[in-house]
């Protein structure tokens, strides 16, 4: 631990102040602490109360003498609440005639052929409709009377909700009705009220109602969690990661927790973007392969793609979210031969218990990790905790359980590669992006073992592996700016004067950030969702400095879809202003504290069906400009990087491993 004060030390000369990123995952809570040298630790997540794990991690990472002045936080509280239905009793208030907006949804079924797959039950315990109606231009067709407000409040009160969502038809066009209902409900019931025109003033009634109900259902849970966190870390300024790749203040996250549904994964891709940029790649794919699933996300010009169709457990939410594509295969996924005679990997997983067979905790079915163990990719002397070591014999027994037709461990890896390659194509070639221009940024426990073979199959330019790939999300928390997006559906033409809207949105966004962080000096940018008249699909574009929205849209359309229709009128559907203030960390840290390095060694391993002798070295011993030729294994506490024959890794200035190869 460093005795030197950190850069932003101001309180006490005796204790250094630290900045920490703390990302709570399903199994581990990852912590990155910045004092003199960046340092990463992992502690077990404490599911019954995540706060305990967070504090454990801070103690271990920062030590007793460091005061954590700033903490950026990624939390699964909101996500878990939804997935486990540990939610508040929620009532939706909507317009007469639309009581079943959540049930009908978009009327499609989740599986074309499989009768066992049904739609997810929505989260509202009840719905109350109000006799009122606003027209698309904001004019009231049926005004909301005072008596009707009283009647609605009575009806909602009778349902005894813990949280309420108000989402009326065309509430984004005029928010008077929603405001009056929300105020009356909050005043009478004393429970959180989520108002659609505040949370998501955007058209499409089902998606907005779904977003509002998700928010309302988790708001009390999130408020409780964040209040506890704040109480136990009184000296620490806390921000929370949002799905869109920014951070937000505590009270914003408490009131609008739907923004945090992809908190951890978003932080990972933010950091992946920074890692790629630091290695000289503007465009990249983030490849996060964990134990049970793998997340991939396209990064363009250093920024993660933003999704248009984010959903959790079948329920859409339209708050900004990074466009992560998830496949149900990871290091713990089990291999099996299906009745048709094909070798499959996943979706079943060995889980944390018993885990892969090589963990020696009683697992007998072959997992992907077992294949690596059999092929020598994992250190046979590796400590697994509790005095256990890797059980290669158990892994071998598990792999031979696959029928004779399977090509054993190498076959399992080949199938994983095919599965992953398809996922990577989904976010690259299927979006018209040539992988030859992309770097693959590999992280998560299993990513660096698979990355180079995958990148070569896809034809990527390089693989980049950050210094601490097991805690990249925690680092991303520190790199993400404080961010707020104000929006409003305007349905206008570029020639219309909507200067008032822009000004109002800018004022709202900057005021919100200053409220979240007094003294902040946010920058703001104008963004718009546009489309051609007659289309129903919007593209998000930055408003160019010259104000030529149509021109910018034609260019964006050409990039995204391969053509533009310059004679067609362009519509601005939704206007947005994004305000951002400084992140906790401006640039990637270097000179990580990786612990002690042992001497290089050699091991017989199998790669691509061939037995080779690989050089094995510790990541901790590698410094900028070091180079290593495959076949090789680079080991660190939470992951192993596998270099195949003909692959070269070079350590760059910030400590990334940049892997390239001869074609």
Is 103 a binding residue for another protein by CB under 8 A? The answer is yes
Structure tokens at 373: 């163990």
Is 569 a binding residue for another protein by CB under 8 A? The answer is no
Residue span 329-348 as binding mask against another protein, x where in contact by CB under 8 A, dash where not: --------xxxxxxxx----
Residue 349: closest CA among 333, 364, 361: 333
75 CB-near residues (< 8 Å, 6+ apart):
24, 50, 225, 240, 241, 260, 263, 264
Q: Cis before residue 631, ω within 30 degrees of 0?
A: yes
DSSP string, 41-108: EEEE--TT-HHHHHHHHHHHHHTTT-EEEEEEEE--HHHHHHHTT----EEEEEETT-TTHHHHTTS-
Q: Which is nearer to another protein, 233 or 491 (CB)?
A: 491
Structure tokens at 176: 């008077």
Q: Which is nearer to another protein, 377 or 619 (CB)?
A: 377
Structure tokens at 518: 């007094």
Site for another protein in 498-537 (CB under 8 A): 532, 534-537
Residue span 34-53 as binding mask against another protein, x where in contact by CB under 8 A, dash where not: --------------------
Is 661 a binding residue for another protein by CB under 8 A? The answer is no
H helices then E strands: how many in the chain? 16, 35
Q: Which residues are registered as beta bridge partners of 634?
A: 617, 641
Q: How far is the CB of 557 from another protein (least distance, A)?
A: 10
Residue 189: closest CA among 161, 229, 231: 161
Strands 482-492 and 388-389: unpaired
Residue span 389-408 as binding mask against another protein, x where in contact by CB under 8 A, dash where not: -------------xx-xxx-
Q: Which is nearer to another protein, 340 or 599 (CB)?
A: 340
Span of 228-236, 317-325, 393-401, 425-433 interacting with another protein by CB under 8 A? 425-433
Is 380 a binding residue for another protein by CB under 8 A? The answer is no
Site for another protein in 161-200 (CB under 8 A): 169-170
Q: How far is the CB of 603 from another protein (least distance, A)?
A: 25
Q: How far is the CB of 654 from another protein (least distance, A)?
A: 35
Neighbours of 316 (CB within 10 A): 18
Q: In degrees to the nearest 10, what's the CA dihedral of 361, 365, 369, 373?
A: 80
Is 214 a binding residue for another protein by CB under 8 A? The answer is no
Q: How far is the CB of 115 from another protein (least distance, A)?
A: 6
246 contacts 259 by C-beta, under 8 angstroms? no
- For another protein, the binding residue among 48, 107, 235, 301 (CB under 8 A) is 107
- For another protein, the binding residue among 224, 561, 566, 613 (CB under 8 A) is 561
Span of 113-121, 324-332, 439-447, 505-513 interacting with another protein by CB under 8 A? 113-121
Q: How far is the CB of 309 from another protein (least distance, A)?
A: 11
- For another protein, the binding residue among 151, 206, 397, 400 (CB under 8 A) is 206
Site for another protein in 271-310 (CB under 8 A): none
Span of 41-49, 115-123, 470-478, 641-649 interacting with another protein by CB under 8 A? 115-123
Is 252 a binding residue for another protein by CB under 8 A? The answer is no
Is 13 a binding residue for another protein by CB under 8 A? The answer is no
| Helix/strand/coil percentages in the chain, nearest 5 | 30, 30, 40
Q: Which is nearer to another protein, 159 or 186 (CB)?
A: 159
Is 84 a binding residue for another protein by CB under 8 A? The answer is no
Q: Which is nearer to another protein, 82 or 659 (CB)?
A: 82
Place of tokens 């996924």: 333
> From residue 346, how far is each of 336, 363, 549, 580 by CA, in Å?
8, 15, 46, 40
Q: How far is the CB of 208 from another protein (least distance, A)?
A: 8
Is 418 a binding residue for another protein by CB under 8 A? The answer is yes
4 contacts 17 by C-beta, under 8 angstroms? no
DSSP string, 429-457: GGGT--GGG-EEEEETTTHHHHHHHHHHH
Q: Which is nearer to another protein, 518 or 562 (CB)?
A: 562
Q: Which is nearer to another protein, 80 or 492 (CB)?
A: 492
Structure tokens at 403: 């029928």
Is 235 a binding residue for another protein by CB under 8 A? The answer is no
Q: Which is nearer to another protein, 53 or 411 (CB)?
A: 411
Q: Which parts of 335-446 fold into alpha helices (H)?
A: 368-374, 392-399, 408-427
Separation CA 560–CA 7 (nearest Å): 43
Residue 539: closest CA among 523, 524, 522, 557: 557
- For another protein, the binding residue among 7, 49, 430, 434 (CB under 8 A) is 430
Neighbours of 517 (CB within 10 A): 17
Q: Which is nearer to another protein, 206 or 615 (CB)?
A: 206
Place of tokens 């947005």: 576
Structure tokens at 608: 């691509």
Site for another protein in 476-495 (CB under 8 A): 491
Q: How far is the CB of 662 from another protein (least distance, A)?
A: 19
197 contacts 179 by C-beta, under 8 angstroms? yes
Neighbours of 662 (CB within 10 A): 6
Span of 112-120, 144-152, 222-230, 643-651 interacting with another protein by CB under 8 A? 112-120
Separation CA 72–CA 517 (nearest Å): 13
Structure tokens at 307: 């999704």
Separation CA 320–CA 483 (nearest Å): 11
Separation CA 459–CA 582 (nearest Å): 36
- For another protein, the binding residue among 3, 84, 108, 147 (CB under 8 A) is 108
Is 114 a binding residue for another protein by CB under 8 A? The answer is yes
Is 86 a binding residue for another protein by CB under 8 A? The answer is no
Is 415 a binding residue for another protein by CB under 8 A? The answer is yes
Q: How far is the CB of 2 from another protein (least distance, A)?
A: 49
- For another protein, the binding residue among 59, 325, 396, 426 (CB under 8 A) is 426
Span of 243-251, 508-516, 560-568, 630-638 interacting with another protein by CB under 8 A? 560-568
Q: Which parts of 494-623 fold into alpha helices (H)?
A: 499-516, 549-561
Q: How far is the CB of 436 from another protein (least distance, A)?
A: 13
Please give the size of the binding site for another protein, defined by CB under 8 A. Answer: 67
Q: Which is nearer to another protein, 47 or 336 (CB)?
A: 336
Residue 262: closest CA among 194, 322, 308: 322
Is 421 a binding residue for another protein by CB under 8 A? The answer is yes
Residue 60 phi, psi (nearest 5): -70, -40
Is 62 a binding residue for another protein by CB under 8 A? The answer is no
* Residues engaged in binding another protein (CB under 8 A): 97-101, 103-109, 111-115, 118-119, 121-122, 135-136, 169-170, 203-207, 337-344, 402-403, 405-407, 411, 414-415, 418-419, 421-422, 425-426, 429-432, 491, 532, 534-537, 560-563, 565
């Amino acid at each position: 631990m460093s005795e030197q004060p950190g850069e932003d030390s101001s309180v006490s000369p005796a204790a250094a102040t630290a900045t920490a990123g703390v990302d709570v995952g399903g199994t581990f809570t990852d912590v990155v602490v910045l004092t003199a040298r960046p340092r990463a630790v992992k502690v077990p997540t404490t599911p019954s109360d995540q706060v305990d794990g967070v504090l454990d991690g801070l103690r271990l990472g920062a030590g007793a003498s460091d005061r954590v002045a700033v903490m950026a936080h990624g939390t699964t509280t909101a996500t878990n609440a939804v997935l486990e239905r540990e939610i508040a009793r929620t009532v939706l208030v909507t317009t007469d005639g639309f009581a079943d907006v959540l049930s009908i949804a978009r009327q499609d079924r989740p599986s074309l052929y499989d009768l066992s797959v049904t739609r997810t039950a929505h989260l509202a315990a009840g719905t109350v409709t109000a006799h009122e109606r606003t027209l698309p231009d904001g004019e009231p067709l049926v005004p909301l009377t005072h008596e009707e407000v009283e009647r609605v409040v009575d009806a909602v009160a009778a349902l005894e909700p813990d949280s309420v969502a108000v989402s009326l038809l065309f509430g984004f066009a005029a928010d008077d009705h929603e405001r009056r209902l929300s105020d009356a409900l909050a005043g009478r019931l004393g429970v959180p009220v989520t108002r659609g025109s505040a949370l998501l003033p955007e058209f499409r009634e089902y998606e907005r109602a779904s977003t509002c109900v998700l928010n309302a259902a988790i708001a009390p849970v999130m408020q409780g969690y964040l209040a506890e966190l704040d109480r136990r870390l009184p000296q620490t300024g806390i921000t929370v990661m949002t799905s869109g790749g920014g951070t937000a203040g505590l009270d914003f996250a408490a009131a609008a927790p739907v923004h945090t549904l992809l908190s951890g994964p978003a932080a990972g891709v933010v950091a992946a973007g920074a890692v790629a940029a630091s290695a000289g790649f503007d465009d990249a794919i983030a490849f996060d392969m964990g134990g049970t699933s793998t997340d991939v996300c396209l990064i363009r010009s250093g920024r993660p793609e933003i999704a248009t169709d984010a959903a959790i457990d079948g329920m859409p939410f339209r708050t900004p979210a990074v466009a992560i594509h998830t496949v149900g295969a990871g290091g713990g996924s089990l291999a099996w031969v299906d009745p048709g005679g094909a070798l499959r990997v996943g979706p079943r997983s060995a889980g944390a218990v018993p885990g892969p067979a090589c963990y020696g905790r009683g697992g007998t079915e072959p997992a992907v990790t077992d294949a690596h163990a059999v092929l020598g990719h994992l250190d046979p002397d590796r400590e697994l905790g509790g005095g256990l070591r890797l059980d290669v014999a158990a892994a071998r027994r598990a792999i031979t359980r696959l029928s004779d037709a399977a090509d054993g461990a190498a076959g399992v890896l080949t199938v994983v590669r095919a599965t992953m390659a398809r996922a990577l194509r989904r976010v690259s070639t299927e979006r018209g992006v040539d992988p030859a221009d992309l770097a693959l940024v590999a992280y998560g426990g299993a990513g660096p073992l698979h990355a180079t073979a995958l990148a070569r199959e896809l034809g990527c330019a390089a693989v980049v592996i950050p210094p601490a790939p097991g805690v990249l999300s925690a680092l991303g928390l520190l790199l993400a700016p404080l961010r707020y997006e104000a929006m409003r559906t305007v349905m206008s033409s570029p020639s219309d004067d909507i200067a008032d809207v822009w000004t109002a949105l800018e004022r709202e966004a900057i005021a919100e950030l200053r409220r979240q962080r007094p003294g902040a000096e946010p920058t703001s940018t104008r963004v718009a969702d546009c489309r051609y008249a007659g289309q129903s699909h919007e593209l998000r574009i930055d408003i160019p400095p010259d104000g030529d929205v149509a021109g910018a849209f034609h260019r964006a359309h050409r990039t995204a879809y391969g053509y533009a229709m310059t004679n067609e009128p362009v519509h601005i559907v939704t206007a947005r202003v994004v305000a951002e203030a400084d992140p906790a960390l401006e640039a990637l840290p270097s000179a990580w504290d990786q612990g002690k390095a042992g001497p290089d060694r050699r091991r017989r391993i199998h790669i691509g069906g061939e037995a080779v002798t690989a050089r094995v070295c510790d990541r901790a011993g590698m410094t900028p400009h070091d180079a290593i030729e495959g076949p090789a294994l680079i080991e660190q506490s939470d992951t192993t990087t596998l270099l195949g024959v003909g692959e070269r890794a070079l350590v760059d200035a910030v400590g990334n491993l940049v892997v390239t190869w001869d074609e």
